Amino acid sequence: MFRAFLLFFILFQFSFGETFSLSEKAFFTGDLGYLKIKDFNPKDRYEIVIKNRYGRWAFPVKDSISYFAVPLFTKGKYVSLYLKKNGKVIFSERLKVKHKYYRVSRIWVKKRKITKEVLERIRRENRLLRRTFKVYTRRLFKERYMHKPLKNLIVTTPFGAKRVINGKKRSYHWGTDFKGKTGDLIYAALSGKVVIARNLFYTGNTVVINHGLGLYTLYAHMSKMKVKEGQFVKAGQIIGNVGSTGRSTAPHLHFGVYINDVKVDPMLVLKKRLF
Ligand SMILES: [Zn+2]
């Protein structure tokens, strides 16, 4: 009976070839989505391209499930998703883009003198982060949903807020800030491997976890780090404590989510089923 079922299953797959399923067909800017490919063959070369007349973003596909972003700066009401196999488009879908209002966040921080050495440090750390987030590995998590990085999630500054620092327009807020007290426990959002656990100029004591398939989470301004680079962690495992290290005005957790070095809105991802 089981063999008959198996045979039927194989024939069914064979006769229908590759089928595709998308997580959603409408996305907010700064959103994360996934595409599942039935009959994925690792010998073929696949790629997801998100594009419209305003922009184009490519995401690697090396597994039967692959993630992509509809980036914060996506303009227009629609983007097209193309799945390429060995250079040929084998699937496409028009995705609706929902635009959100992003507020302005004004903060005042104590001026730190940016010497040549500090500037070099900032550049070096930025290169390290860019390089880290582009590393694509096999999947390292099994959880369908993210674990909350703090027991209580109270947003103080949302993702995508336009930053005004000491009265000057700066970049965007590339993560979500959660309210917290010094010492509050920080938990890994998904299982994975700690790839960064060190002090960085802007984000202070910073932990970055690689979850595989291009997905990363970042935890900043910690008072204490409880993990080391190279260590594997489970979802929900304690990785450190809330603090105010780096460029920070008060104790809080800055939590970032990245897919192939594209920043996505942690609040959207925290509510999302991941496969
Ligand atoms: Zn922040």
Question: pLDDT tens-digit profile of 227-273?
Answer: 999 999 999 999 999 999 998 989 999 999 999 999 999 999 999 99
Neighbouring-strand partners of residue 254: 177, 220
Global pTM exceeds 0.85: yes
Residues 151 and 232 reside in one and the same domain: yes
Q: Does the residue 52 lie in any domain?
A: yes
Q: Which of 98, 117, 137 is the C-terminal boundary of a domain?
A: 98
Please state, rounded to an integer, the average pLDDT across all residues of the chain: 92
Domain presence at residue 275: no
Q: Give all strands (DSSP E) within 62-154, no chain letters.
A: 65-70, 78-85, 88-98, 104-107
Q: Supply the pLDDT for residue 13.
A: 45
* Number of domains making up the chain: 2
184-201 pLDDT, tens digit each:
999 999 999 999 999 999
Q: How far apart are CA 40 and CA 61, in angstroms?
A: 10
Q: How far is the CA of 178 from the centre of ligand 1 (A)?
A: 8
| Domain ranges, residue 87 | 2-98
Does one domain contain both 60 and 7?
Answer: yes
How close is the Cα of 51 to the center of ligand 1, in Å?
A: 29
**pLDDT tens by residue, 109-158:** 777 778 999 999 999 999 999 999 999 999 999 999 999 999 999 999 99
* pLDDT for 53 beyond 70: yes
Q: Is residue 38 part of a domain?
A: yes
Structure tokens of 90? 């084998």
Last residue of a domain, one of 81, 98, 115: 98
How far is ligand 1, taken at its centre, from the CA of residue 154, in Å?
13
Q: At residue 15, does pLDDT exceed 50?
A: no
Q: Do residues 104 and 58 touch, judged by C-beta distance below 8 A?
A: no
**Residue at a domain's end among 67, 98, 129:** 98
On whether both 185 and 229 belong to a single domain, the answer is yes
Separation of CA 202 and ligand 1 centre (Å): 10
